[in-house]
Structure 1
Amino acid sequence: MSRYEEFMGRIRGARTIGAPPPPSRWTWAADGLLALSLTVAVIAGNLNRSYVELRPDPAGSRTPVPGRLPSPPALPDLPGVPDGSRPVPAVEHVLPPVEAWEMAAAVLAALPLVLRRRHPLAVYWTVTVAAVVLHLGDAAADATRITFASGLVAAYSAAMYSPHRRSVAASLAAGVLLHAVFPLVPEVDGDLVPVLVLLPLALVSHGVHLWRQRERTLRAEQEAELRRAVEAERSRIARELHDVVTHNVSMMTIQAGAARTVLATSPEQAREAMLAVEAAGRTAMSELRHVMGLLAMAADGPDPAAGVALAPQPGLDRLTELTDRVRSSGVPVEVAVRGVPVELPAGVDLAAYRVVQEALTNAVKHADGARVSVTVEYGTDRLRVEVSDTGGRRLRTAEPGGGHGLLGLRERLAVYGGTLDAGSRPHGGYRVRAVIPWEVP
């Protein structure tokens, strides 16, 4: 984060809870109509350059007021006419003609409200500064009333729709100070008092309703995000358990079948096969304890994997051990390593190991009597893993759940920006090829 971004973050402050819903077409239409109405009202009010002020003059003073027309003479007391019924002197004010910059300020004092939900703070300051500029000249009283109403709408929008609480508080305080320094507050007649009382109550009620709506939306988004995280974790656990169990169980099944076949004729070979079954079972249990231990680390309460020695996740350094287990089942496997082996990131190393493990498992289950070759190539910026067999593969649909392992591998590799290509070879057999970059893009 740059110093400018850090500085702006401190100015803006913490974000409010939730985010306002995106404006709909009806909302845009309502804001546009409001902005246009207030703009027309400000312009029309400012074009009214003359108005009459009633000023009681009990002393009958005829002293002219600078810049105003002289007051008419006070009427003498008439017999039979009460004092309260006497005519009140009137003073007519005539303002100078409107200039172009005053018209521009009048437009900017209301028209930006069309964007009050999208850019609330910017609209608030635009409306406030335009009102101040307008009143630096000769603003009509009608224009002052409309610009004050426009400022109230802009302040309400900034308080309700801006995500930066500290900036909103500072801006509203500065706006109050500007209204106190400059003549931005209109004179209030007695008829407007109920409106000025009911309008803030209505705005507060609407604000509370909108705040609750945003909290409900935020809560729903958090629950949806939690459900997605749970589903993603379930998928990850399912992929990990599939990779751990499928390979070892397949080896155990094949070795047990071989032992049963040669048990009567060759007890020594049957014994070796059963030893291989035992080794595969131990390996499966060890990896299952490892996976369960990783899952239990984030759980509360007693650790079900306590006391279990958790070995590191398998990687390509255990490739020889993996291929030896496959060879012991009777499937010939050739391994070729090209390039200079380097220390891989843990995730990339595990993903490459799972690719070889899944491909070998599928070859054992589906490629009867085939030869399997494993190639690991260390490139300059990526790792290429390829496992191919020479044929004899049965249809994957013959096995329940076929193809789920490859789908899980694609998802696993996608995390690291890798790709997986699996399909039949032109001259028979099957090939699985994975390309994994060194780093996540």
Structure 2
Amino acid sequence: MSWYEELADRVRGTRTFGTPPPPSRWAWVTDGLLALALAITTIVGDLNRSYVDVHPNPGDTPFPVPVPPPIQVPSPPLLPEIPEFPRPSAVEHLLPPVEAWELLAAALTALPLVLRRRFPLTVYWVVMGATVLLHQGHVAADATTVTFASGLVAAYSAAMYSPHRTAVVISLVAGGVLYAVFPLVPDVDEGFVPLLVLLPIALASHGVHLWRQRERALRAGREAELRRAVEAERSRIARELHDVVTHNVSMMTIQAGAARTVLDTSPDLAREAMLAVEAAGRTAMSELRHVMGLLTMAADGPDPAADVDLAPQPGLDRLAELTDRVRASGVPVEVTVEGEPVALSAGVDLAAYRVVQEALTNVVKHAPGARVSVTVAYEPRRLRVEVRDTGAPGPGTSRDRPERGAAFPGGGHGLLGLRERLAVYGGTLRTGRGPGGGYEVRATIPWEAP
């Protein structure tokens, strides 16, 4: 960061209430009409180049002393002499003709108020600079009155809508100094004094109301954002638990059913099936501890997952272990890798693994006896994962079954979670009937997230 940027950050100060929300259409209309009215009034007032200065004539005797009647000689009563009041004199002043730059400065004292809610501090300084520039020439009194009103509106907007509190305080103090140094304050009659007293009080009360309203709106926005984050985290946790538990529980169910079938005729096979059930249960518990350990981790204090054996998230490097467990349950699986393997990011590697895991779990649950082929293709700029099965043999073939993941227990949360997971990395998921009568799951994932 350069010294200029550091100085600008210090002058702006900290943001107290964040960036204000964008103005509504009605706010734009009202600000535009206000700016246009003030600009036109300033220009018209400045075009009036003559004014009359009325003051008493110093040569007149304000109250002449009456001569008393003589006392010696009686005389008829005299009418009282009417006192003479001063006769005012009027002096007409004629200003030089207005120049083009003065008209431009007069327009700039009000037109920037259109953006007073969007860029309040910048508009304030543009209005102040144009006002000082206009008063470097010959300005009519009417124009000075209107520019003073424009300056009040700009100062109020800067105080209300700018999030940089330090810069606002410095700017308002500097503006007060400019009004004191330059003749920017108009001559005010006594009748306008109550207005000048009540107007700042009204603006201040309105500003406090808007300030509290903005604070409540921002607090409500933060709470809504927090609720959305909590809901999104809950959905992510639900998908992760589904991925972790469903596959291993399905393997345990298949192996337990096979052990029960051959328990009387082939005790050795039943023993192997129960060992597979035990291994799948241990794997499920290990992955559940991993997920629950992540959920209970705190930012400070002792780590509650420190004593848990947290294995890294699975990836395509554990694909052989996954397919071996499925083969042990009696489902033939063939794996094909195409292209030269490349180093994948952890998220993409995990997403590809979950695609294969979910597809194999669905085959075990919905197409027992089917043969499965898994293809992992490292194509240019993307990874393609395909899982195809031949469908369950017999009358309950997959041709007659409803769409997987839609009408079976579980409601299709697995495939929905996969689509959401792949969408994070710019990937896509396609599922449906295969050309050979089975079911096909096809996922494409870019190597790098968009």
- TM-score, normalising length from structure 1? 0.89
Q: CA deviation at 1:21?
A: 4.0
CA shift digits 1:58-87 (9 cap, x unpaired): xx4xxxxxxxxxxxx444762348999433
Amino acid at match of 2:241: L
Q: Which moved more, 1:107-116 or 1:356-365?
A: 107-116
Q: CA deviation at 1:212?
A: 0.6
Question: Percent of aligned pairs with the same residue?
Answer: 75
Work out whether 1:430 is the aligned partner of 2:448: no
Work out whether 1:50 is the aligned partner of 2:64: no
CA shift digits 1:166-191 (9 cap, x unpaired): 44334333322332332111123222
Taking the TM superposition and a 5 Å limit, the aligned residue runs for 1:217-366 are 217-298=217-298, 305-366=305-366
Secondary structure at the counterpart of residue 22 of structure 2:
coil
Amino acid at match of 1:401: G
Amino acid at match of 1:327: R
Q: 1:34 to 1:84 in 2, by over 3 A?
A: farther
Q: 1:305 to 1:82 in 2, by over 3 A?
A: farther
Partner of 1:78: 64
Partner of 1:69: none
Larger Rg: 2
Q: CA deviation at 1:430?
A: 1.3
Amino acid at match of 2:439: Y
Structure 1 spans left out of the alignment, 5+ residues: 61-72
Q: CA deviation at 1:99?
A: 2.5
CA shift digits 1:408-428 (9 cap, x unpaired): 011111111222122211221
Whole-Å separation in 1 of the counterparts to 2:4 and 2:268: 76
Partner of 1:421: 430
Whole-Å separation in 1 of the counterparts to 2:100 and 2:311: 80
Secondary structure at the counterpart of residue 265 of structure 1:
coil
Q: 1:26 to 1:83 in 2, by over 3 A?
A: farther
Amino acid at match of 1:121: L
Amino acid at match of 1:268: D
Partner of 2:17: 17
User: What is the aligned-residue RMSD (CA, Å)?
Assistant: 2.5
Q: Which moved more, 1:395-404 or 1:417-426?
A: 395-404
Whole-Å separation in 1 of the counterparts to 2:35 and 2:88: 39
Work out whether 1:185 is the aligned partner of 2:185: yes
- TM-score, normalising length from structure 2? 0.87
Whole-Å separation in 1 of the counterparts to 2:168 and 2:49: 35
Q: Which moved more, 1:417-426 or 1:7-16?
A: 7-16
Partner of 1:401: 410
Report if the CA contact (8 A) 2:62-2:86 is conserved. no
Whole-Å separation in 2 of the counterparts to 1:416 and 1:33: 48
Whole-Å separation in 2 of the counterparts to 1:297 and 1:133: 62
Q: 1:316 to 1:113 in 2, by over 3 A?
A: same
Q: 1:108 to 1:82 in 2, by over 3 A?
A: farther
Report if the CA contact (8 A) 1:377-1:385 is conserved. yes
Whole-Å separation in 2 of the counterparts to 1:307 and 1:299: 17
Secondary structure at the counterpart of residue 43 of structure 1:
helix
Q: CA deviation at 1:88?
A: 4.6
Report if the CA contact (8 A) 1:14-1:164 is conserved. yes
Q: 1:323 to 1:162 in 2, by over 3 A?
A: same
Report if the CA contact (8 A) 1:55-1:89 is conserved. yes
Partner of 2:391: 391
Work out whether 1:28 is the aligned partner of 2:28: yes
Q: Which moved more, 1:244-253 or 1:135-144?
A: 135-144
Report if the CA contact (8 A) 1:116-1:157 is conserved. yes
Partner of 2:145: 145
Structure 2 spans left out of the alignment, 5+ residues: 67-80, 393-397
* Number of equivalent positions: 427
Partner of 2:160: 160
Whole-Å separation in 2 of the counterparts to 1:2 and 1:332: 65
Secondary structure at the counterpart of residue 247 of structure 1:
helix
Work out whether 1:410 is the aligned partner of 2:396: no
Whole-Å separation in 1 of the counterparts to 2:83 and 2:44: 38
Q: CA deviation at 1:341?
A: 2.7
Q: CA deviation at 1:132?
A: 1.7
Secondary structure at the counterpart of residue 14 of structure 1:
coil
Whole-Å separation in 1 of the counterparts to 2:34 and 2:20: 20
